[in-house]
Amino acid sequence: MNNQERHQDGKLEQSIQTDFSKSMSYGDYLHLDSILSSQHRCSDHHDEMLFIIIHQASELWMKLILHEMQAATQSIHKNDLEPSFKMLARVSRIQHQLIQSWSILSTLTPAEYMGFRDKLGSSSGFQSHQNRLIEFAFGNKNAHMLSVFQHQPELYAIMQQALHTPSIYDAAIGALAARGLPVDEAALDRDWSQPYQPNASVEEAWLTVYRDVDQYWDLYELAEKLVDIGSQQQIWRFNHMTTVERIIGNKMGTGGSSGVTYLKRALDQQFFPELWSLRTKL
């Protein structure tokens, strides 16, 4: 029997391990027993499984975004910019994955969603603490959002800490100052729980970077990585809004929000403002 015939007889290669009674298997490592048993439909509707898995998978990707964002921000705080570039490039790819997931959810028609929507109670994506942490990490701070998490004291404490922690853009502005670029003290030492407000000195510092890319290559690369993730987050928001509009129109959200109207307002909240305004002045 030749090699091709051995392959075709369906038998496993002799070196492949089959006994996992005393060693860790793929399923053990990934805890697939708990992951794959966590899809509990509240109705008998076929399409509720899609709805659950899309949101659970999105939360896993968001967990990875937060993991990468935290490490990238720490790297920038240390004025060690290069490691952050890989992390932020990965964040951008993850965002692309999340953006594509809306196209899968959009296969859910209004009639299909109405078949189980009433079973969701007051639960809503608005209550995703990880999405809120991502917004905080990007600099979109809003203390009022924390009220949604008051019923979970440990989670509420995490959200409070994130609210008062400098965003990745605050870290980037600190990196500008560390390189000797003049930045107003008001942009370097402020109440981190407040949303960032555009600052003329910050815009001028970024303009200096963009006008002398050779001298400030690492800061320039950081700026472009931030533009990448900022624009991807806006695309995610837009696709979220259009998917919701496609499925429920202008109905109120299950969590009590105005639904599409609220999501449209969120699109007006821009990240890293000076990195956009400088383009007009270059």
Asked whether residue 52 is marked as a ligand-binding residue, the answer is: yes
Asked whether residue 54 is marked as a ligand-binding residue, the answer is: yes
Environment class of 130 (CB within 10 Å of its CB; exposed 0-12, middle 13-18, buried 19+)? middle
CB neighbour list of residue 137: distance below 8 Å, 6 or more residues apart: 66, 69, 70, 73, 162, 167, 168
> For 155-194, what is each residue's pLDDT tens digit?
999 999 999 999 999 999 999 999 999 999 999 999 999 9
Asked if residue 33 belongs to a domain, the reply is no
Asked if residue 78 belongs to a domain, the reply is yes
Asked if residue 196 belongs to a domain, the reply is yes
Global pTM value: 0.91
> For 20-68, what is each residue's pLDDT tens digit?
889 999 999 999 999 999 999 999 999 999 999 999 999 999 999 999 9
Asked whether residue 247 is marked as a ligand-binding residue, the answer is: no
Asked if residue 271 belongs to a domain, the reply is yes
Asked if residue 1 belongs to a domain, the reply is no
Asked if residue 63 belongs to a domain, the reply is yes
Asked if residue 11 belongs to a domain, the reply is no
Domain of 182 in residue numbering reads as 47-280
For the domain that residue 160 is a member of, what is the CATH number? 1.20.58.480
Residue with token string 């109705």: 43
Asked whether residue 51 is marked as a ligand-binding residue, the answer is: yes
Asked if residue 106 belongs to a domain, the reply is yes
Residue with token string 């003329």: 200
Asked whether residue 77 is marked as a ligand-binding residue, the answer is: no
Phi-psi category of residue 281: left, alpha or beta, with phi > 0 → left and psi -120 to 50 → alpha? alpha
Number of domains, the chain = 1
